[in-house]
A and B are shown apart, each in its own frame.
Chain A
Amino acid sequence: MGRLMRWAVAVFAAIVVCLVGSGETLAFDGFGEATADSTYDVEIRFDVDLEGAAPERLELLLRTPGSESSFVVPIEPDGNVASYVWDTSADYVVPNTLVTYQWRALVGDDVILGPEETIRYEDDREGLDWQEVELGETTVHWYGDAEAQARRFGELTAIGVEQAEELLGTQLAGPVDVFVYDTQDEFFGALGPGAREWTGAAAYSELRTIFMWLRGGSPEYLEVAMVHEVTHIVFFDATDNAFHEPARWLNEGIATWSEIGDAGEQRGIVGFEASGGGLFSFEAISAQFPIGERGGTLSYAQGTTLVDLIIDRFGREAIARIAAAYRNGASDAEALEAGTGITADELYADFYDEFGVEAPEPIAAEPIGPSSVDRPTAGEVDEGGVEEVPAAPDPAPDPAPGERPTPVATDDAVPVILALAIACIAAVAVAIWVVRRAARLAG
């Protein structure tokens, strides 16, 4: 084909493209059907049909309970469909999480939103033939032949909710789900990585969900555990705020206190430890409990006992006032003072007084020594020749943290430096030779 011919063909092709383009310009024309499906511990899959051409940018917005933030995932469409697979085998998601999703397209300056939809990420592992019953605000889920226990857990949940609502001066903000597992593997398979082996029940307050393991303890233990866990959910509702998570010792203390409405044996644990290894500072157990069995046990015990002290001395309403203060964005100290009328330090002091010990003090860190390693020998560091610096050719001693190092050489010192540098080279060479020789001999 000659050059002109190729040109003619090219023009024709361009005209065709223009005609097609101008007459039938495909533009994004909104979202078609959007669906989602999940398989537990495998994936959550989202699909959407695109009407017309693909938009300039396509995104999937995902939101889970407990966060108002939308996680934005950019998506590359495949023709007029688009999909996203959330790999939950790698990225653990708690079962019963209600995922809110919405597709978003950007075309020029326009933003086109699909409808907001939800999918519940269910534990649909093989063999878990879930059944459920609604008992007031609680839906209890079980499989196998655990109906009787499940119903009992449902009743206890209702009792626990009522007690906690009264204590915390609030109303449950929404329904609660309780999932009852029969085997350890199935239970820990639901809790995901990081669950402690001694766990018999766990509450995920943001999800308003409690997981129970039927063989996680004696029937009596499981019954109080049920009350404990549901109290966490009411506590979450009573204190939820954008600023600050309430002190952990208080959260656990209220939940444990609610099990029997008393500090019970927890006070004994504190008394025993007070006369032995000493107690923890409440600041120390505000964010996290210490590692080890003693750390956990004593933290729970101190929290429960201080809650009991507050209720004894300031009335049950004090707990409701503390919760309300948290809800308004108070710090731990502010919330305790709002509830009791005395400062947090005074409250803590009263607690330690009761056990005849002093409030613990933080322990000072042992200082870290300065480097003992020499720097490379410096030559002339000439930053203008105006600075008086020592003539000594050896590296300056290393400064301790906070000290300024001393400069190392002057113009005048060059001959001295040279001489000493040569000596230094010789010394190093000898040293290296000795070391290498030693290494060869050793080898």
Chain B
Amino acid sequence: MPRLTRVAALVAAGVIALSTSTSGGPILAAGPALRYLGGPPGTLDPAFIGNAADVQLLLQLYAGLTRLDETGEPYPSLASGWAVSPDGLRYEFAIRSDLEFSDGDPLVAEDIRRSWLRLLDPMTEATAPDVLSVVEGASERINGDGPEGDVGIQAPDDETLVVTLRQPASHFLEIVATPATFVVPDTADATPTWQTPDAFVGSGPYIVNGLDGTDLVLRANPRYVAGAPPIDEIRWVGSIDGDSVSAFADDQFDLAQVAGSDATWIAYDADLGPRLHVAEPLTISYFGFDTTQPPFDDPRVRLAFALAIDRERLVPLSEGAEAQAAASLVPPAIWPEGFSPELEADPDRARELLAEAGYADGSELGTIVVNGNGLFVDPAVAVWREELGVEIEIETMEFGSFLDLFETRRSVQIFTINWIADYASPHALYALLLEPGALSNYGDWRDDEFVELLDAAAAAAEDEVGAAYDAVEEYVVGEAPVIPWSYGETWWLVADGLRGLGNLTIGLIDFGRVSWDG
């Protein structure tokens, strides 16, 4: 998937593609409305993405330089083409010449620059500004340590956007396909309320056409870069009475997620079974350690906790069809070719490591507190008690309170996080969760060797990407700043005749590319 690998002899700026038309998409809408059980809509602002459902919605409402197809491969969207400098640090995007926001206002390179700078502006307090941290000066801007002018984003004219990176990043075309980087109109300010369902202006395949009860009504955007999508209306259903399976069976929806516990019987059901699909996971649940405080500042202790648990057995046992055991922080939907993480469990070695770290008796670790926010931690806790002899207490709290703990730098010895990749590259997980200084590096792990390996992977040639990320993974496994636990399994019921849903990975389903048969 990473693309920089194809860049051998790089071309200097100026070979940028000429803008071409924004045609290609069908003009006439066809087929009935698509009724999607999407849940209550969250934010309408790409700067405030909070979860996978937000990503899924905002992908329909905004557009960026690139977009991902059903295989996760980026293709030109607002940009018609690009050129990369020989050192891999400068991207020059050709912006199409006749772009418009959904209200008819022109959309030019400066709008993309403005949108990105807004995302990075510390006053915006965006939730995921660090997706752009590979851009020169971006991290400093996010942290309030650098001026806007130092950020490596220029728009010399309406049809050119020049981006300077602080290091080569073969996944940059995936980064600019993530909704956080998508283009917002100039009415966007630092508040999360500038955009409303009744006066929506966007740049994506669909526009919000108001709320109908708890349903968000989306209409095809005729000004979308690829033309109006074939399905004219999407009803983004916010809530239902009863369960989603019964509602789907009653033809109330065309597309709905169902629980793994229901998927187990639906798989055998003559009517619903053929319409049951499982998505490629893009989410990861993991345990993290506070690596700044004893005892988890010692990698031997962390590794002992990792090796004690047999995820291959425990995850299916405890979560059934809801999840699969995670071998890596990187979910399978975005594994590069050749990437081959392995699950390992070795309780004997775990006890040895604890003894080497000075804790032959696990109770000498004191009472360990596990903050099990959003994850059923009981199986792992039971094994740690049994295999390592440690004393453990479990706490949970509301997610906001949980994040406050990190902001106030209170130690959370072991915590759990459910995460969706911000962009379709392993880099999204490693960099955003483990790089020193990253906003979501909750365990505050700082390791120079890891950074070197990750930088090398980001710059690796295409046929070496899998091996390069394998090296990153191997290092992470050995240092164990986190324990990947499970990949979330997402099950869907899909109405007959829908096409273009790809791997059904939540966050990657582009309704602009979905249509009805015939």
Contacts and interface: CB of A to CB of B under 8 A. Distances in A.
A375 B69 contact: yes
Nearest to B262: A288
B85 to A, nearest CB: 10
B267 A363 contact: yes
B230 A373 contact: yes
A404 B73 CA distance: 8
Interface in B197-253: 225-227, 229-230, 243, 245-246, 249
A409 B17 contact: yes
B23 interface: yes
B6 A398 contact: no
B395 A417 contact: no
Interface in A360-384: 360-366, 368-384
Contacts of B261: 287-288
B75 A405 contact: yes
Nearest to A407: B6
B225 to A, nearest CB: 5
Contacts of B23: 376-377, 424-425, 427-428
B500 A382 contact: no
A375 B75 contact: yes
B81 A366 contact: no
Nearest to A71: B396
Contact of B270 (A329, A363, A435): A363
A371 B84 contact: no
Contacts of A378: 17, 20, 75-76, 80-81
Nearest to B11: A385
A409 B499 contact: no
A283 interface: yes
A401 B27 contact: no
A400 B8 CA distance: 29
Interface stretch (B136-144, B314-322, B480-488): B314-322
A269 to B, nearest CB: 17
Given A365-B276, A386-B6, A404 B496 contact: no
Interface majority SS on A: helix, strand, loop or mixed? loop
Nearest to B504: A368
B397 interface: yes
Contacts, number: 273
Given A242-B382, A378-B75, A380-B15, A362 B268 contact: yes
Interface in A321-379: 329, 331, 360-366, 368-379
A71 B499 contact: no
A57 B84 CA distance: 51
B343 interface: no
Given A379-B19, A380-B16, A399-B70, A374 B226 contact: yes
A401 B70 contact: yes
Contacts of A74: 397, 401, 404
Interface string A232-276: 000000000011100000000000000000000000000000000
Contacts of B225: 376
A221 B262 CA distance: 29
B152 interface: no
B401 A371 contact: no
Contact of B84 (A374, A383, A402): A383
25 contacts: A70-B394, A72-B396, A74-B404, A242-B378, A243-B314, A287-B262, A288-B261, A365-B276, A366-B274, A370-B500, A371-B499, A371-B514, A372-B230, A374-B24, A376-B96, A376-B225, A380-B83, A380-B94, A383-B83, A385-B15, A387-B6, A398-B513, A401-B71, A405-B71, A432-B27
Given A280-B268, A379-B96, 8 more contacts: A72-B401, A286-B264, A287-B265, A368-B504, A370-B499, A376-B24, A422-B21, A425-B23
